[in-house]
Amino acid sequence: MTALTTSLGILGAAEAGGGAMPIVFLHGVGSDKSVWAPQLAHFGKSRRAVAFDYPGYGESEPAPGGTSRDDYAAAIFAGMDALGIDKAHICGLSLGGVVAIAMHALAPERCASLILADTFAVHPDGPGIYARSLAASTDLRALAEARVDFLLAPGALDDVRSEVIETMAAIDPAAYRIGAEAVWLADQSDRAAAIDVPTLVIVGEADQPTPPELSRELAALIPGAELATIPGAGHISNLERPAEFDRLVEECIANG
């Protein structure tokens, strides 16, 4: 793990491997780059794999003023620039999927493909979730402990539950509030319909915050998108079912 100096400030990053077209991983609002450790270990065996922190998260410095989903996208591109990555497969979960769609809208030529996991173009209860997130953001440990069973599928491993709680508890509340606005108030239906790179939409069968129906709607918006459901996974499907998640992503990017 390292802190990169980019044109837009200090950005936290973790990477592994080298060789084929890189893959970039983008975390959710209640997480940081550490959630992608299983994927860095897997994909680092065959290509360069990088996970970034958003501004204000993990090892990244806070951005001045507010931070929109487009600002997050610009920060990730700045991080890619700092690592000499011109183009990559972009894999985002939840907020990360929202940011991935924004990245394609800003610079489609830099996206080899998109993997959009447990996310959406627009959430029907987005404003309500945002309001509840703001109200609970003063104590993120309490929020994490209250929400962990909502985020994970029944029967999730104890170490996965602990990791989710500890990671969310460590987030700066101000950064969390900015991230919550970026994800839950997003409406990127027009942007999704304009995606013109190979796209895989993944969803956990038991995802409660972003139910499978939202992934079906997202996949239907994107020309040629494929949809895959992971049995036994909740909202954090890459952490709950890493082997199945990795297999699906591997099949998507095998030729790139």
55-69, 104-118, 158-172, 220-234: least confidently modelled range: 55-69
Partners of 42 in the beta sheet?
A: none
Per-residue confidence (pLDDT) for residue 227, from 0 to 100: 98
CATH number of the CATH domain containing 46: 3.40.50.1820
Sign of the C-alpha dihedral computed for residues 115, 38, 122 and 107 taken in this order: negative
Mean pLDDT in residue range 184-210? 97
* Confidence check: pLDDT of 67 > 90: no
Mean confidence (pLDDT) of the chain: 96
Task: Write the pLDDT tens digit of every residue in 79-127.
Answer: 999 999 999 999 999 999 999 999 999 999 999 999 999 999 999 999 9
Range of the domain at 50: 2-253
CA distance to 28, 52, 183, 188, 198, per residue, from 251 (Å): 23, 23, 27, 26, 12
Pairwise CA distance, residues 171 & 196, whole Å: 34
Per-residue confidence (pLDDT) for residue 179, from 0 to 100: 95
Mean pLDDT in residue range 61-88? 92
Mean pLDDT in residue range 130-150? 95
Structural domain count, the chain? 1
Q: Specify the amino acid at residue 194.
A: A
Q: Model's pTM, two decimal places?
A: 0.97
Per-residue confidence (pLDDT) for residue 215, from 0 to 100: 98
Indicate the pLDDT class of residue 168, thresholds 50, 70 and 90.
Answer: very high
Percent of the chain with pLDDT over 90: 94
* Confidence check: pLDDT of 66 > 80: no
Indicate the pLDDT class of residue 65, thresholds 50, 70 and 90.
Answer: low
Task: Write the pLDDT tens digit of every residue in 6-37.
Answer: 999 999 999 999 988 999 999 999 999 999 99
Per-residue confidence (pLDDT) for residue 12, from 0 to 100: 97
